[in-house]
Structure formats: C-alpha cells, structure tokens
Amino acid sequence: MSLLTVWSDADATTPLIQTPDPEVIGRELAGVGVSYRRFDTRDDVPLDAGQEEVLAAYSDLVGGLVAEHGYTLIDVAQLHLSEESPDSVKETAAVARLKFLSEHTHDEEEIRFFSHGSGVFYLHIGDRVLGMLCTAGDLLSVPALTTHWFDMGTMPDFTAIRFFRTDDGWVGTFTGSDIAERFPTHDELAEVASHA
C-alpha cells in the first residue's frame, strides 16, 4: 500500500501527516507542485520481463504520457532481489541503492511509474520533508530542481518506467547535506504501510 508521510525537516521522529489515502496524498503533493496519479497495473507481465516487454504492456499509458508531456526518452529500471539472491547481486543492489540515497536535484523533472514493487521518494520542500512510498500503480513526477532523495530499500524489488526529456536528465547534483540519514528508511516505511 502506498503511504505519504510528512515531517518537519527539523524532526524526523514525529510525522505531521501520515496517510495511505490516495486523495489526501494527491492533494498534499499537488500543494507542493508534485504530480501524483494512480493507474491500473497488469498482472500478466512476468517479473523477468525485459524493457521492451514492459513498455509494450504499458504502451497505452506510455503513449498517453508522451502525447501529454512530450517525453523523448523512456526506459525501464528494475531490480528484483530476495533473500535467495546471490551475494554478488546483493552487493550490486547495495551500490545502486546508495547512488541516489543522498539529497540531490536534477535539471529536469524526475518521472517514475511503478508497475511493480516499491520505492520511497523523499521531497525536501521548504521546511518539510514529504516521504512518498510509491507502490505498483503510482506515477510520481518530481519537478526539476526539487531537492530530494530516493530509497529502494535493503532488498530492492521494483519495476519502474522512467520518462526523460534529455539524455542526461537523470544526472544528480548533490547538495552535500546528510539530511537523508536522519529520516526513516524505505524498509521502515514499508513496515508501517503494511499495517496501515
């Protein structure tokens, strides 16, 4: 289940808001300029499907977003780890997790559609941090230059379609802040969501 948690950026222990309600989530995110939409997912796409197969399965959604927003580059990012995964795969995933786990910005918006699994976007906007645990069916658009970080968890399991306008739109500019270390992780928020 998706879950939005909002904190003061000075207090990571006391949520100001915590909700799984899609309507409240959409309203809160829209209030800070972040677009959040829900789409149906398909249950006929195998976990080992490659990029072409995933994009073909979601061609209507992708085509609609391209027509609406003019994205020029679409790809699929996915990791499916389990306890049984080989250590080498776990090490690769740990490196991938660290890459965007510190606060950063991008010169273009960051758009992700989760067709499977989960990941948390932490948006640091004004004096608040909005932690959005995205799950299958969520489309999130983080505006250009928004300070944020992303946690895929210690056992990454997700398939995300990514939309870009330029070849290097995903390059991160890191702020050098250690704020991300103070906030609950993907694993902790996923645990909360499982009881919500």
Q: How far is the CB of 73 from Fe ion (least distance, A)?
A: 15
Q: What x-and-dash track marks residues 106-145 binding Fe ion by CB under 5 A?
A: ----x-----------------------------------
**Residues between 168 and 187 that touch Fe ion (CB under 5 A):** none
Q: How far is the CB of 142 from Fe ion (least distance, A)?
A: 7
Closest to Fe ion by CB, 49 or 108: 108
Q: How far is the CB of 166 from Fe ion (least distance, A)?
A: 14
DSSP string, the chain: --EEEEEETTBSSS-SEEE--HHHHHHHHHTTT-EEEE----S-S-TT--HHHHHHHTHHHHHHHHHHH---EEEEEEEE--TTS-HHHHHHHHHHHHHTSS-EE-SS-EEEEEEEEEEEEEEEETTEEEEEEEETTEEEEEPTT-EEEEE--SS-EEEEEEEESSTTTT--EE----GGGGSPPHHHHHHHHHH-
Q: What x-and-dash track marks residues 92-111 binding Fe ion by CB under 5 A?
A: --------x---------x-
Q: What does the binding site for Fe ion look like in residue numbers (CB under 5 A)?
A: 100, 110
